[in-house]
Structure 1
Amino acid sequence: MTEARPRSTRPRDRKQQIIAAASEQFRASGFHNVGISDIAEAVGISGPAVYRHFRGKQELLHATLADAIDKNTESFHGEYADLRELLDAVAAGTLERRHTGVLWERELAHLPPEQRQELRARYVATIEPLRTAIAASRPDLTAGAVEVLLRAIIAVFAAMSQHAGKVDPARARPMMTDLAVLLCEFRGLESGDGAADGGRPVPRGRLLPVSRREAVLVAATRLFAERGYEAVGMEDIAAAAAGMAGPSLYHHFSGKPAILVAALTRCLEAMLFDLSAALEYAEEPGQALDAALYSFVRISIQHGDAMRALLHEIVNVPAEDRQAVRRMQHDYVAEWTALLSGHRPELSAAEAELLVHTAHSVVTTLSQVDEIWTSRARRQDIVALGRTVLGLPVDAPPAD
């Protein structure tokens, strides 16, 4: 008589396993490039087993984002002696969940508006203790200026946790905490009433280039930034490009992926072109880095659509083109890293690169959030905050 085999039991944390696998898959490949079967394979179960817990991929995305918010709650809502202790706890918690910032920034748009609103409200409630602590430590600041510092600090945590892999783990957390404290002490936002000096230009007529190819690129970049790459069709691009017919787009581009590659390449080439001028005319690394920073701020403000596409849509670039685009990104960061290492030789190469990524994150975050511009952040403020991150003289004269 054969002995009966015990029935396998479903792990009690199966739902959490699925959420963790989905989070990693969405982060690495993008929501639209991941199937339920991919997530199931990562967990070691069948596709139908995923549907026992979630009705579909969109519900699973909502669960991953809600889970990320919930896991951050403990860090923000603990009992702390002072602001530094709070910031250190948030730094530690963020390092434990290194890539959730990417997931939040890139994939939130794939949820229905009511779910996006609900998650944003939960996120705002989660980080509220940090906002309150900043305001208490800086009674000289307006509510708008506190918002600027809050967004900058959140950008520091997101970027440094994401790119901290090469840095000595014993150094990553203190670097994050020290930099967050430094930003809390930033002077320069105490006065002023808005974006009157160098602020974001307000789009009005949105004039398009005469060239049909250029008009297609401008319209597509804006649509990709507003709706997300997957939500935009060739007919949408044609209609936005001065009422062109859809088929006529193929006279200029082989398809939507080619338009995305052209948009990203153009943005990176512009950044590298400006950087070459900084290298040509600067007399020492810090001066060149400051000029590069000023250029990056200007491009981020004036060409925010392209920057958003660059940040969030590279996962949709065809595999055969992605390496070249990534190489351009790497070259741009590497030039900044070399300049920062020359200016601050006490930093390791990994630490310098981490600060470069962080400066980029702070600049793009502040230059792309419109409500901040209605409060206080002006171009020179963003430059000064970027200088603070990099360790450049904050009150140096403008680089242009």
Structure 2
Amino acid sequence: MTEPRPRTTRPRDRKQQIIAAASEQFRASGFHNVGISDIAEAVGISGPAVYRHFRGKQELLYATLADAIDKNTEAFRGEYRDLRELLDAVAVAMLERRHTGVLWERELAHLAQEQRQELRARYVATIEPLRAAIAASRPDLSADSVELLLRAVIAVFATMSQHAGKAEPARARQLMADLAGVLCAFRGFVPREDADGGRRPAPRGRLLPVSRRQAVLAVATRLFAERGYEAVGMEDIATAAGGMAGPSLYHHFAGKSAILVAALTRCLEALLFDLSAALEYAERPGQALDAALHSFVRVSIQHGDAMRALLHEIVNVPAEERQNVRRMQHDYVTEWTALLSGHRPELSPAEAELLVHTAHSVVTTLSHDGEPWTRQARREEIIALSRTVLGLPVDAPSAD
């Protein structure tokens, strides 16, 4: 006689297991490339079992982002003697949840507007103690300057925690807190009247290239950045590109993913081309690195749409084409890392690469803040903050 199988008890933390698995799946593959069955398999349950806890994938995405915010709340709201103690605690918390920044930046757009607003409000409330601590330590700063430092410090934590795997954990944590502290003491602010001449420029227009192919690339890059890759159809691109017929796009590109690949490749080639000039004419590694930094800031300010697509939409590139884009990204970071190592030989290769990724993040974060005219006015501050991250002289003459 066959004995009855023992009845299994559902773990009390099953919902949290699902959230953890979903977070990892969304981070690695992107929201639209992950199915409920993928998440269920990672947990070791059936697809219908996921629906006992969540009505669908979008609700699960909301839960992963809310969970990430809530888990960081304790670190920001503890009792601390000073700003440095708070920065140390946040560094520890961020290293424990290394990839939440990727989810926040890339996947938030897939939620309904009211959900996005609610999560942003929760996020702002979570980091408010850090804002208050920076303001208290810097009574000389305006609210705008405090906000700038806050965004730069958050970029440091998010990026260094994400890329900290190659560095020794204790050293990575120290680097994060030290760099955040240095940025909080930053004094290279440009007076607003000097930055923008005391007047707001007229809104910029959008002239399309005469070339149909280039016009498609320009409008598609903007639409991908504004709406997200998955939300943009070929008809949307055709309409924005001067009212082209949808099928005519296929004379220029094999499909939507080919447009994304072309946009990403063009952006990276521009950066690499500028970098080659920096290497050609510079006499020292630090000088070449500073020239590369100016190029990166310029592209980030003037072509922020392409930069956002580069950062967040690469998971939508087909695997066979993604490898080439990743290789170009790797080559760019490798050249920066070699230059930084040459300028600061006391850094290990892992530490130099960590600082390079962080400088890139600070630039892209601050370059996408506000309207183009405000970003351009902030240009010198972005350069100075990034020089601080890299350990370059903050008061060096412009490389332009």
Q: TM-score range by the shorter chain?
A: over 0.9
Normalization by structure 1: what TM-score?
0.97
Q: Secondary structure at the match of 1:383?
A: helix
Q: Cα offset for 1:114? A: 0.4
Aligned residues: 399
Aligned in 2, Cα 1:190/1:298: closer, same or farther, shift over 3 Å? closer
Distance, in Å, in 1 between the alignment partners of 2:33 and 2:5 is 39
1:396 corresponds to which residue?
A: 396
CA 76–375 in structure 1, closer or farther in 2 if over 3 Å, else same? farther
Q: What do the CA deviations read for 1:267-317 (whole angstroms, capped 9, x no partner)?
A: 000000000010000000000000000110000000000000000000000
Q: Distance in 2 between matches of 1:384 and 1:111?
A: 35
In the alignment, the residues of structure 2 paired with residue 190 and residue 57 of structure 1 have an alpha-carbon distance, to the nearest angstrom, of 45
Equivalent residue letter for 1:61: L
Match of 1:60 in 2: 60
Query: Which residue of the partner structure matches residue 73 of structure 1?
Result: 73
Q: Which has the higher contact order (CA 8 A, sep 6+)?
A: 1
1:11 maps to what in 2? 11
Measure the CA separation in 1 of the matches of 2:376 and 2:133.
19
Alpha-carbon distance in 1 for matches of 2:170, 2:201: 43
> Secondary structure at the residue paired with 2:196?
coil
Aligned residue for 1:180? 180
Aligned to 1:287: 287
| 1:232 corresponding residue in structure 2 | 232
Matched, 1:277 2:277: yes
Structure 2 residue aligned with 1:384: 384
Q: What is aligned with 2:124?
A: 124
Kindly state the Cα deviation for residue 28 of structure 1 after the two structures are TM-superposed.
0.2
C-alpha displacement of 1:192? 2.7
The answer to whether the 8 A contact 2:225-2:305 is kept is yes
Q: Which residue of 2 aligns with 1:147?
A: 147
Q: After the TM superposition, which residues 1-400 of structure 1 pair with which residues of structure 2 at under 5 Å, given as runs?
A: 3-189=3-189, 191-193=191-193, 195-196=195-196, 204-370=204-370, 374=374, 378-400=378-400
CA distance in 1, matches of 2:203, 2:269: 24
Measure the CA separation in 1 of the matches of 2:375 and 2:141.
Answer: 11
Give the direction of change, closer, same or farther, for the CA distance of 1:232–1:201 in structure 2 (3 Å limit): farther
In structure 2, relative to structure 1, the CA distance for the partners of 1:150 and 1:44 (3 Å cut) is same
AA paired with 1:294? Answer: H
Matches of 2:89 and 2:135 in 1, distance apart? 18
Deviation of residue 97 (structure 1)?
0.2
Aligned residue identity for 1:151:
R
Superposition deviation, residue 218 in structure 1 = 0.1
Amino acid at match of 1:91: A
Seen in structure 2, the aligned counterparts of structure 1 residues 339 and 321 have a Cα distance that, compared at 3 Å, is same
Q: 1:131 to 1:225 in 2, by over 3 A?
A: same
Contact preservation (8 Å) 2:286, 2:343? yes
TM-score, length basis structure 2: 0.97
Alpha-carbon offset, residue 78 of structure 1: 0.3
What 5-or-longer segments of structure 1 have no aligned partner? Answer: none
1:370 is paired with a residue of what secondary structure?
coil
The one-letter code matched in structure 2 to 1:84 is: R
- Structure 2, unaligned runs of 5 or more: none
Cα pair 1:160 1:354 within 8 Å, conserved? yes
Match for 2:72: what amino acid? N
Structure 2 vs 1, CA of residues 218 and 194 (structure 1 numbering), >3 Å: closer, same or farther?
farther
Change (3 A) 1:216 1:375: closer
Quick one: distance in 2 between partners of 1:84 and 1:390? 20
Distance 1:200 1:293 in 2: 26
Distance in 1 between residues matched to 2:261 and 2:243, nearest whole Å? 23
For the Cα contact (< 8 Å) 1:384–1:395, is it kept in 2?
yes
Q: Which amino acid aligns with 1:24?
A: E
Q: Deviations over 1:153-175 (max 9, x none)?
A: 00000110000110011200000
- 1:7 CA displacement: 1.1
1:183 partner amino acid = L
CA distance in 2, matches of 1:385, 1:230: 34
Indicate how the Cα distance of structure 1 residues 195 and 371 shifts in structure 2: closer, same or farther if over 3 A, else same.
farther
- Whole-angstrom distance in 2 between the partners of 1:373 and 1:357: 26
In structure 2, relative to structure 1, the CA distance for the partners of 1:13 and 1:40 (3 Å cut) is same
Quote the Cα distance in structure 2 between the aligned partners of 1:249 and 1:54. 39
Could you say if the C-alpha distance between residues 315 and 399 of structure 1 is closer, same or farther in structure 2, counting changes exceeding 3 Å? same
CA offsets 1:53-91 (integer angstroms, 9 cap, x no match): 000000000000000000000010000010000001000
Partner AA of 1:110 in structure 2: H
